[in-house]
Amino acid sequence: MLAQEGYVAFALDMYGEVAKGREQAMALIEALVKNPAELRNRANAGLEVLKSQANVDAKRLAAIGYCFGGAVVLEMARASDGLGCVVAFHPGMTGQPEKDDRPVNAKVMVCAGEEDPLIPPDARERFISLMKAARADWQLNVYGNAGHSFTDKTVDAFGMKGFAYHAPTDQRSWSAMRALFDETFGKI
């Protein structure tokens, strides 16, 4: 969808393999969560690939991510140079540290559903506290009547409590991201 709107889009493969089921996917995620240095290395390697493309303006870069990818872009806001902004859609936020002294190098937006079991109120408060401590330019958009994976039209088939597609939130969060892009980079 970004490419259709005039942006150069690059999808990073954080795993290096295709999971053949939910258990394997969770194992791949867990391995990276337990090894933050490797997570940062892979994310930054992807960013370098993007920067090296002839049709990319390296002074106007953003990163967006969904679920685990949202957690990755939140890490990139601290660990990567050159990003103007990051947008995390329904990221898992239950494992945030008490304190993180690293600076936040990009504008940060988190789009979360109020009913998301992976972003409970205490996790939202921890995020706010971390962003304030870093004196970051941040926003947390919490959408009512939405849970986790509100952008995924296929998630309802899994029947998982707190996980559901929510069309109004999907559209509103995309519009919020576009507004942040326009603010950060100017209109395309």
Note whether 36 and 44 are within 8 A (CB): no
Q: Would you give per-residue pLDDT tens digits along the chain (188 residues)?
A: 888 888 888 999 999 899 898 899 999 999 999 999 999 999 999 999 999 999 999 999 999 999 999 999 999 999 988 999 999 999 988 888 899 999 999 999 999 999 999 999 999 999 999 999 999 999 999 999 999 999 999 999 999 999 999 999 999 999 999 999 999 999 86
What proportions of the chain, in percent to the nearest 5, are helix, strand and coil?
40, 15, 45
Coil, strand or helix: which one is 139?
Answer: strand
What CA–CA distance (Å, rounded) separates 86 from 29? 20
Q: Phi/psi of residue 142, each to 5°?
A: -110, 120
pLDDT at 99: 93
User: CATH code at 41?
Assistant: 3.40.50.1820
CA atoms in the 13 A half-sphere facing the CB of 90: 27
Which structural domain range is residue 99 located in? Answer: 3-185
For tokens 């390296």, the residue is: 58
Structural domains of the chain, count: 1
Looking at residue 70, its pLDDT comes to 96
User: How far is CA 175 from each of CA 57, 105, 168, rounded to the nearest angstrom?
Assistant: 23, 23, 11
